[in-house]
């Protein structure tokens, strides 16, 4: 159900009486994109583009600290290696061989 309301200094009002089955329930408002005032400290897309390599490394290090022993460095691979690993995993899961090169 959609119901038009007015937000005025923290209060939401309805311009006509509405009878509802429950007295209390959660509501998810749809806020127009022009209504919020951006937080001056929050990064925007423009500032994110200008974050340096050092910032990226700092964030990565923080993530690794959070993960602790679960953090593992993976050797760089290309899409061919990823596709090959996917094919092997699917073949293992479904019991099929995807290597038909030797069938000739």
CB of 6 closer than 8 Å to CB of 15: yes
3-state SS of the chain: helix, strand, coil percent to 5? 40, 10, 50
Higher pLDDT, 1 or 49: 1
- pLDDT tens, position by position, 47-80: 555 566 777 788 888 888 888 888 877 777 788 8
CB of 64 closer than 8 Å to CB of 71: yes
Query: Averaging pLDDT over each range in 35-49, 54-68, 85-99, which range is the top one?
Result: 54-68
Q: DSSP string spanning 18-56?
A: ---S-S---------TTSSPPPTTS--HHHHHT--HHHH
Distance (Å, whole) CA 87 – CA 89: 5
Distance (Å, whole) CA 80 – CA 88: 12
Distance (Å, whole) CA 49 – CA 45: 6
Backbone angles phi, psi at 63, to 5 degrees: -65, -45
């Amino acid at each position: 159900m959609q119901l038009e309301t007015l937000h005025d200094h923290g209060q939401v009002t309805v311009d006509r009486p509405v009878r509802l089955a429950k007295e209390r329930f959660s509501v998810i408002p749809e806020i127009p994109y022009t209504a919020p005032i951006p937080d001056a400290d929050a990064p925007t897309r423009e500032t994110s583009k200008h974050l340096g390599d050092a910032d990226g490394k700092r964030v990565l290090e923080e993530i690794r600290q959070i993960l602790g022993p679960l953090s593992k460095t993976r050797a760089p691979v290309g899409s061919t290696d990823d596709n090959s690993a996917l094919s092997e995993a699917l073949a293992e899961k479904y019991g099929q061989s995807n290597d038909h090169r030797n069938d000739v």
